[in-house]
Amino acid sequence: MKIAVYPGTFDPVTNGHLDIVKRASRIFDRIIVAVSNNLNKDPLFSLEERQSLISGSIPNLKNVKVDVFEGLLVNYAEKKRATAIIRGLRAVSDFDYEFQMALMNRKQNPKLETIYFMPGEEYYYINSTIVKEIARLGGRINCFIPPVVEKALRKKIGIIQKFS
């Protein structure tokens, strides 16, 4: 069985992320969307909320599981018996960081391959940070994220704005 891990912060999950999950699910027997805490980011949603939002956005993908993890990705992937890490590339600026991470992961576990997916052109410019900013400013975000995520984001932003 070919298992791949798609790691990320997913704060929140976007249609671009989901595009990659759907396409990868046609290639691998099992996809594990692995939600993590990035020490360099201050996430809006908790790990559990992000896990729930992703699960609620992909109910029809039977070979996709959503999980949370902490620690080294390569250790998590080995524990889950994954043979590949899935990563998205939007722009050349993504490539430099992703290339470094792939080489570091390979040094930790030479058996684990990194597979890159470029998003569909309709998702090329979407990222979670921009979606959150547009939401905070009251803009239209329904074209960037699934309805379940939009509802949660609007609620979360409303709570934050109420107390800020």
153-157, Cβ contacts within 8 angstroms, sequence gap of 24 or more: 153/12, 153/44, 156/44, 156/45, 157/132
Structural domains in the chain (count): 1
Tokens describing residue 89: 């590339």
CA–CA separation, 104 and 74 (whole Å): 10
DSSP codes of every residue in 86-127: EEE--SHHHHHHHHHHHHHHHHH-TT-EEEEEPPPGGGTT--
57: annotated active-site residue: no
Q: Which of 30, 65, 90, 136 is catalytic?
A: 90
Domain with 102 in it: what CATH number?
A: 3.40.50.620
Per the structure, the complete domain to which residue 101 belongs is given by: 3-124
Does the residue 27 lie in any domain?
yes
Tokens describing residue 155: 């609620």
| Strand bridging mode 64-69 / 3-8 | unpaired
pLDDT at 109: 96
Does the residue 163 lie in any domain?
no
90: annotated active-site residue: yes
128: annotated active-site residue: yes
Kindly report the backbone phi and psi dihedral angles of residue 84, in degrees, each rounded to the nearest multiple of 5, phi listed first. -150, 150
- The model carries a pTM of 0.93
Q: Which of 2, 41, 79, 81 is catalytic?
A: 41
Name which of 34, 42, 39, 41 is nearest 13 in CA terms.
34
17: annotated active-site residue: yes
Q: Which of 36, 87, 128, 132 is catalytic?
A: 128
Sequential pLDDT tens for the chain (164 residues): 999 999 999 999 999 999 999 999 999 999 999 999 877 888 999 999 999 999 999 989 999 999 999 999 999 999 999 999 999 998 777 888 899 999 999 999 999 999 999 988 888 889 999 999 999 999 999 999 999 999 999 999 986 666 55
pLDDT at 134: 94
Does the residue 157 lie in any domain?
no
